[in-house]
Chains A and B, each alone.
Chain A
Amino acid sequence: MNLIRTLLSPFTWKLAYRDAKPQWKTLFLYTSSVIAGVAALVAILSFRSDVLLTVDGQSRELLGADLEFRSGEEFPDSVEAFIDSIGGSTAEALEFNSMVIFDDDGTSRLSQIRAIDGPFPIYGTIITNPAEAASNYKENRTALLEESAMNQYGLAAGDTIQVGLQRVAIEGALLSVPGEAAVFSLVGPRVFLHKSIVEDSGLLDRGSRVTYKRYFEFASVDTVNSIVEAFGPLAREHRIRTETVESEKEDFDEIISNLSRFLGLIAFIALLLGGLGVASAVYVYIKRKSSTVAALRCIGVSKLTLVSAFSIQIAGVGLVGAFFGSMIGVVLQLYLPTLFSGLLPFEIIQQLSVPSILIGLLTGVGISVVFSILPLAGISTISPLLTLRNTDFSPLNALSKKVKFSAGTFTLAVLIGVISLLTGSFITSVAFTAGLIIFIILLWGIGLLLIATVKKMRLTTFSYPVRQGMANLFRPNNQTTMLITTLGMGMLLIGTLYLSQDMLVKRIDMETGEDFPDLVFYDIQNDQNDRMNEIVEEGGGNVLMNVPIVSMRLASRKGVPVSEVRADTTLDVRGWALGREYRVTYRSELTDTETITAGEWVSEADGINSVVPISVATQIQDDLQIEIGDTLGFNVQGVPVTTVVRSFREVDFQQPQPNFFVLFPSGVLEAAPQFFATTIRTESEQQSLSIQQSIAREFPNISAIDVSVALESVQEFLGKISMAIQFMALFSIITGFIVLASSIAISRKQRTKESVLLRTLGAEKSQIGSIQTIEYALLGLLSSLAGLIFAFVASWALAFFYFDMAFVPDIGNLLLITLFVMIAAIIIGWSGSRHIFKHSPLEILRLETA
C-alpha cells in the first residue's frame, strides 16, 4: 500500500521528472536496448494478425470450394451414390505427377498435372497471363503452364507441350492459384488441363499415383457440417478425406501460429538481451547516482520515494523506447510479407494491429522495469553517510540474499509469463526460458574466459596502442562481458542457422561417388522395362538399380480384417499404416541400406499360395503394432496373399534409392502385375539430358527425377525458410549493437578523461585513435568468437548425432561475418566517441578541480 501511495504521490513524480530532465537523453539511451526486440516482436505479431485476418477473409479461396472429398483411388459406387444424393459435385480434379515434354528435342521435366472438370476454383480466381486464359483453357482443351517453366524453356502462349500421348497447346502462363503457395512449384511446374485430355493421354494407368478430388458448393456452413457427418462412415471405410473451409482454415491457422510463435521466440531473444543491456546500464546509472541519492536521504527523502522516483524514470524511458520499437515494428510489418513471398498462398492484406502494438509496449516497459529491479532495489541501501565518505558504492553488494533471490524469481516468473502468452504453452515457455538462461550463462562464461585470455595476452611485445586498446576492455564499470553476451547471442543464432543450413545442403547434396544416381525413373511398365534399360545403356548411362514394384493393400492384421482393426479402439494401430497402398518389392538379398535388427531374413519362398515370410521396416513396426511371427494379409490387386513377419529391418530411407517398408522374398511376386523403378548414373549433364529426352520420346508415361534439379529446388526452398529465420535473428545482433552504443555513452566521461590525459602526456591523435579502434575491434572479435564457438559446438553435435556426417564448416563465410561485426563495432564505437578530440588537454586541469 505504501508503495502504491508513494508511486502515486505528486512529489515522487516531480522528483523523478526534475532529476531526469537534464539527462533524459542519457536515460533514454540506457533503455534503448529494448527497441530492437520490441520492433521484432511487434512486427511478427502484426504479421500474424495480418495473415489470420487475410485467411479469415479469404478462407473459401483457400479451399476453392465449400467442401472437398479427396481420395487416392477412384471413388467407389457407394461414394458416387452418396455424392449424387447430395446433388452432385460442382467440380472435380485429378492430381498426379507426370513427365511433360516441352520441346521437339524431348526436353522434359516431372510436372504437377491438375486435370479439371467444372468451374474450379469455385471461389477465387486462377491468375494467368493473358488473364482470359484461366476461363478459356478448359473450353479450348489447352493447357495453363507455370510461368517459371515457360520462361525456363522459352515457351509462349500457342506453343505446344506433350502430356502423355497428347500434344496440348498452351493457353497462357499460370501465375497464381488460390490456396496454393508459389513455392510448391519448386517441386515441379504446375500444368492445368481439362480432365478429358488426361483421360486420353494414357497416363492414368496402373501404377500411377493419382489423387481424386470432388468439390462442392453449398449455401450454408450447417449444410456442409451435416453432410460431413453423414459421410463419416463411408469416408472411413474408403479412406476418403473431407476438407471444409473451417478445417482448411484451422490447418492453416495452426501452421501460421506455429511459424509466428517460433519467429516470435527468436524475436523474444532479442528482447531478453535488450533487458540484460538495460539491467547493466541501469546498474551503472544507479551507481553514479549514489551521491545524489545520499544527499537526498540527508535532507529527509525516504528510501521508498527514491526507489519509486527512479522506477518511474526507468518505466518512463522504457515506455519511450518501447514506443519507438513499436513504431519500427509497424514499419517492418510492411516488409515481412516480402520475406515470405512464395511461401503463402495469397497476398496479405495489411492493417495496423493495435493489440500487437499494445503487447509490444507492455512487454518493452515490463522488460525494462523487471530487469532493473535489482539495481533499483539497491537504491534503498544507499546510506546518507555516503555524503561524508567517498567510497565506491555498488547497488548490488549491499542487498540481502533474500532480496536478490526474490527479485530474480520475480524476473523469471515475468519472463515465463510473457513467453507463455506468446507461445500459448506454459511448458514450452519454461523449457525455452531455462534453455535461454543456460545459453546466456554459458555465453557469459565464455566471455569471461576470452577476457581472461586477452588479459594474459597483453604481451609486452605488442605496441602501446595495442596494449592500451586491450586494457580498455577492463576499465572500471566496463560492460565488456555484457556486450560479448548480447552480441555473442546474436552471432550464435546466425552462426548456428548458417552452419545448419550449410550442413543440410551438404547432407542432401549427393556425393559424386560411383554408386550415387543422378536420375531416377519410375512408373516403368513391365513391357517397357527391358527397352528402357537398353535406351539407358545405348545412351552411355549405367543402371545402378532396376527394382520391380508391386502395389497391394493390407487386408488383415493378425488374422483380423483391417476394418475391424480400425474399429477396435483398444488397439493403437495407426490408421495411415492400415489404409495406405503398399508399394512392395521382392528380392533374395538385402541392400546396403538395410540391416536386420530382429528375426531372420528369408530370401526365397514357395510361391504366392504359401505363407510368405516377409521383412518389415522398423519405421512401421510400431505403427502396425506387430512382432515377429505375426501374420499380415495383403490384397495384391485382387489376389489374397498371407504373409508372416519373419524379420525387422532398419532401413536408411535417406539414401537415394528405392527403399521399402515391406520386402518380399523372391519366388512369390514375379508374376504379379508390377512396374519398375530404375536409378541411373551418367557421365555428364549432357548425357543425362539426352537419356531423359530419349525415354520421354519413346515412353511419355515414364516419370523421371533429375536429382540435381530436385536438389536445387530443395536448396532454394531451404534458402527461403532460412532467410526468414535469419532476418529475425538479426535483431539480436542489432540489440547487441545498441547495447554497445549505450555502453560507449555510459563511459563517455571516462573516455574523455583518458583521452585528455594521454594527450597531456604527449599522445598524438592518431595514437589515441588507434587505441579506440583496437578496443572496438576487439569487442567485435570477442563477441563473434563467443557466439561462433557455441555455434560450432551446436552444429558439430547436429552433424555427429543426427546427420551422421563429418562436420566441415564453411570457415570463409564465418570469417566474413566476423569481419562485418568487427567493422560494425568500430563504426558504432567511433560514432559515439568522436567527441574525445573536441576536448583540449587543458581539461585535465579542470578535471582536477571538478
Chain B
Amino acid sequence: MDSENILKVKELTKVFKSGDHSLTVLNSLSFSVERGISCAIVGPSGSGKTTLLGLCAGLDNPTSGSVSLNGTEISSLSESELTSIRNTEIGFVFQSFQLISTLTALENVMVPVELRGIPFKKVKTKALDLLQSVGLKERTHHYPNQLSGGEQQRVGLARAFIHQPSILFADEPTGNLDDETSASIEQLLFDLNKEQGTTLIIVTHDMKLAQKCDRIIRLKRGTVFSDEYTSEKKTGKMSVLS
C-alpha cells in the first residue's frame, strides 16, 4: 500500500458511445493525491470533472486506465465489492444535499453506519455529537422539508463523516447555497476534514473555495490542464501542465 498517496489515477480514459458517435470525456489522465490533503478539481462545463469524480469514487468504470484507492485498484472490482468500499472508505457530499425525505436529520446521518448492520443505539451518540458539531443540536428530529438549504447541507456533512471515511468526495457542496451559508458550510467542511484527517476531493466552479484547498487540479477537455499546490500548502512540487 502506498502510504503517501491515497488516490492514484493512471492513464484514465472514459469514452461515451452514442450510436455511431463516441465522445472522449477523459483522455489518459494520471495523477495521485496525497493522504490527508484537500484537493479541488476545477474546470469549465464539459471538462470532465463530474465524470472524473464518479470514476474516482467507484461509481463508474473507466474505458481504460485504472483508479486505486487506498492501495486497492477499484476500477476492476465488482459492484458488491465497490458497495462495501463506498460504505467504509468513502464519504459523499452532494450539491442537492440528497437527504432521504422520510428520515429525520438524525436518521439521515446514521444511514451509512446502519447499513453495516450496526444497531441504532450504538451509533446514536456519535450521530448526535456530529449534529451538534455542525450546529444542529436542536433539529435532530426534523425532517428535510423542515430544514433550510444550509441546514440540509449540514446534515449532509454530518452523514458524510459519520463513518470516518478515508476520503470524502464533495460535488459542488455549496452550489445551491447563498454566499453567507456557503462560507459557513465550507468552514465546517474543512474543520471536520482537519479533525478526522480525511482526504478531501472537491469538484467546484467556485475558485474562492478551490483556493482554500491544498491543491487545485484544473481540467480542460478531458485532460489535466494544470496541477498546482496553493501558496498555503506549497510542498515544493511543481505545477504540472497537460
Using a CB–CB distance below 8 Å, which chain A residues touch chain B? 460-461, 463-464, 467-468, 471-472, 474-476, 754, 757-765, 767, 840-842, 844-845, 847-849
Interface assignment of B83: CB less than 8 Å from any CB of chain A? yes
A456 vs chain B, min Cβ distance (A): 13
CA distance A476 to B80 in the complex (A): 30
CA distance A763 to B145 in the complex (A): 24
B41 vs chain A, min Cβ distance (A): 13
Residue ID in chain A nearest B104 by CB atoms: A471
Which residues of B (93-151) have their CB < 8 Å from a CB of A? 94-96, 98, 100-103, 107, 111-112, 114-117, 119-121, 124, 145
Chain B residues positioned under 8 Å from A460 (CB to CB): 120-121, 124
Task: Provide 8 A-B residue pairs closer than 8 Å at the C-beta atoms, listed in order of the A residue.
Answer: A476-B145, A761-B111, A762-B83, A762-B115, A840-B60, A842-B59, A848-B95, A848-B98
A474-B102, A757-B100 known; A848-B112 Cβ under 8 A: no
Interchain residue pairs A-B with the least CB separation, the first 6: A762-B87, A471-B102, A464-B114, A460-B120, A842-B59, A842-B60
CA distance A284 to B132 in the complex (A): 37
CA distance A464 to B107 in the complex (A): 9
Asked if B115 and A844 sit within 8 Å, CB to CB, the answer is no
Asked if B83 and A754 sit within 8 Å, CB to CB, the answer is no
Asked if A475 and B102 sit within 8 Å, CB to CB, the answer is yes
Asked if A761 and B115 sit within 8 Å, CB to CB, the answer is yes
Which residues of B (37-75) have their CB < 8 Å from a CB of A? 50, 53-54, 59-60
Which residues of B (130-184) have their CB < 8 Å from a CB of A? 145, 159, 171-172
- The listed residue (B88, B145, B172) touching A848 by CB distance below 8 A is B172
CA distance A100 to B53 in the complex (A): 92
Asked if A842 and B102 sit within 8 Å, CB to CB, the answer is no
Q: Classify the interface of chain A: helix, strand, loop or mixed.
A: helix
CA distance A120 to B221 in the complex (A): 99
Asked if A761 and B87 sit within 8 Å, CB to CB, the answer is yes
Interface assignment of B231: CB less than 8 Å from any CB of chain A? no
CA distance A844 to B86 in the complex (A): 13
Asked if A762 and B59 sit within 8 Å, CB to CB, the answer is no
Interface assignment of B84: CB less than 8 Å from any CB of chain A? yes
Interface assignment of B229: CB less than 8 Å from any CB of chain A? no
Asked if B171 and A845 sit within 8 Å, CB to CB, the answer is yes
**Apart from the given pairs A463-B117, A840-B59, A848-B94, 5 other A-B contacts in the complex at a CB distance below 8 Å:** A464-B111, A464-B114, A761-B111, A761-B112, A762-B112
Residue ID in chain A nearest B58 by CB atoms: A841
Residue ID in chain A nearest B145 by CB atoms: A476
CA distance A80 to B48 in the complex (A): 108
Residue ID in chain B nearest A841 by CB atoms: B59
Asked if A471 and B94 sit within 8 Å, CB to CB, the answer is no
B145 vs chain A, min Cβ distance (A): 7
CA distance A696 to B84 in the complex (A): 84
Residue ID in chain B nearest A473 by CB atoms: B102
B86 vs chain A, min Cβ distance (A): 5
Residue ID in chain A nearest B87 by CB atoms: A762
CA distance A203 to B86 in the complex (A): 93
Chain A residues positioned under 8 Å from B83 (CB to CB): 759, 762-764
Chain A residues positioned under 8 Å from B50 (CB to CB): 845, 848-849
B18 vs chain A, min Cβ distance (A): 15
B90 vs chain A, min Cβ distance (A): 8
Asked if B100 and A754 sit within 8 Å, CB to CB, the answer is yes
Chain A residues positioned under 8 Å from B60 (CB to CB): 840, 842
Chain B residues positioned under 8 Å from A848 (CB to CB): 50, 94-96, 98, 171-172
Asked if A760 and B86 sit within 8 Å, CB to CB, the answer is yes
B200 vs chain A, min Cβ distance (A): 17
A117 vs chain B, min Cβ distance (A): 81
Which bucket holds chain B's interface residue count?
35 or more
CA distance A754 to B144 in the complex (A): 14
- The listed residue (A474, A767, A840, A849) touching B115 by CB distance below 8 A is A767
B52 vs chain A, min Cβ distance (A): 11
Chain A residues positioned under 8 Å from B114 (CB to CB): 463-464
CA distance A800 to B59 in the complex (A): 64
CA distance A495 to B171 in the complex (A): 54
Asked if B98 and A757 sit within 8 Å, CB to CB, the answer is yes
A762-B86, A763-B115, A840-B60 known; A845-B103 Cβ under 8 A: no
Chain B residues positioned under 8 Å from A760 (CB to CB): 59, 86, 92
Chain B residues positioned under 8 Å from A844 (CB to CB): 59, 92, 94, 98
Asked if A476 and B101 sit within 8 Å, CB to CB, the answer is yes
CA distance A845 to B100 in the complex (A): 16
A464-B115, A844-B59, A845-B59 known; A762-B88 Cβ under 8 A: yes
B171 vs chain A, min Cβ distance (A): 6
B114 vs chain A, min Cβ distance (A): 4
A749 vs chain B, min Cβ distance (A): 13
B222 vs chain A, min Cβ distance (A): 16
B82 vs chain A, min Cβ distance (A): 8
Chain B residues positioned under 8 Å from A472 (CB to CB): 102
Chain A residues positioned under 8 Å from B107 (CB to CB): 467, 471
Residue ID in chain A nearest B49 by CB atoms: A845
B4 vs chain A, min Cβ distance (A): 26
CA distance A757 to B156 in the complex (A): 12
Chain B residues positioned under 8 Å from A840 (CB to CB): 59-60
B65 vs chain A, min Cβ distance (A): 17
Which residues of B (172-220) have their CB < 8 Å from a CB of A? 172
B118 vs chain A, min Cβ distance (A): 9
CA distance A841 to B58 in the complex (A): 9
Chain A residues positioned under 8 Å from B112 (CB to CB): 761-762
Chain B residues positioned under 8 Å from A763 (CB to CB): 83, 87, 115
B80 vs chain A, min Cβ distance (A): 7
Residue ID in chain A nearest B116 by CB atoms: A762
Chain B residues positioned under 8 Å from A841 (CB to CB): 59, 86
CA distance A348 to B220 in the complex (A): 79
B69 vs chain A, min Cβ distance (A): 14
Chain B residues positioned under 8 Å from A764 (CB to CB): 80, 83, 115
Most buried by B among A472, A757, A761, A763: A761
Most buried by B among A461, A765, A848: A848
- The listed residue (B103, B116, B145, B171) touching A471 by CB distance below 8 A is B103
Asked if B115 and A842 sit within 8 Å, CB to CB, the answer is no
Chain B residues positioned under 8 Å from A845 (CB to CB): 50, 53-54, 59, 171
B190 vs chain A, min Cβ distance (A): 21
B40 vs chain A, min Cβ distance (A): 17
CA distance A432 to B131 in the complex (A): 55
Chain A residues positioned under 8 Å from B98 (CB to CB): 757, 844, 847-848
Chain A residues positioned under 8 Å from B116 (CB to CB): 762
Asked if B54 and A842 sit within 8 Å, CB to CB, the answer is yes
CA distance A411 to B80 in the complex (A): 53
Residue ID in chain B nearest A761 by CB atoms: B112
A286 vs chain B, min Cβ distance (A): 20
Chain A residues positioned under 8 Å from B111 (CB to CB): 464, 758, 761
- The listed residue (B53, B86, B96, B145) touching A761 by CB distance below 8 A is B86
A417 vs chain B, min Cβ distance (A): 41
Chain A residues positioned under 8 Å from B100 (CB to CB): 468, 471, 754, 757-758
CA distance A765 to B59 in the complex (A): 15
A460-B121, A842-B59, A845-B53 known; A761-B92 Cβ under 8 A: yes
CA distance A157 to B163 in the complex (A): 87
Chain A residues positioned under 8 Å from B101 (CB to CB): 475-476
CA distance A37 to B98 in the complex (A): 40
CA distance A463 to B86 in the complex (A): 20
- The listed residue (A464, A842, A847) touching B96 by CB distance below 8 A is A847
Residue ID in chain B nearest A848 by CB atoms: B95
Most buried by A among B94, B100, B172: B100
Residue ID in chain A nearest B203 by CB atoms: A845
A533 vs chain B, min Cβ distance (A): 77
Chain A residues positioned under 8 Å from B80 (CB to CB): 764-765
Chain A residues positioned under 8 Å from B88 (CB to CB): 762
CA distance A767 to B111 in the complex (A): 12
CA distance A762 to B79 in the complex (A): 10
Chain B residues positioned under 8 Å from A847 (CB to CB): 96, 98
CA distance A559 to B86 in the complex (A): 102
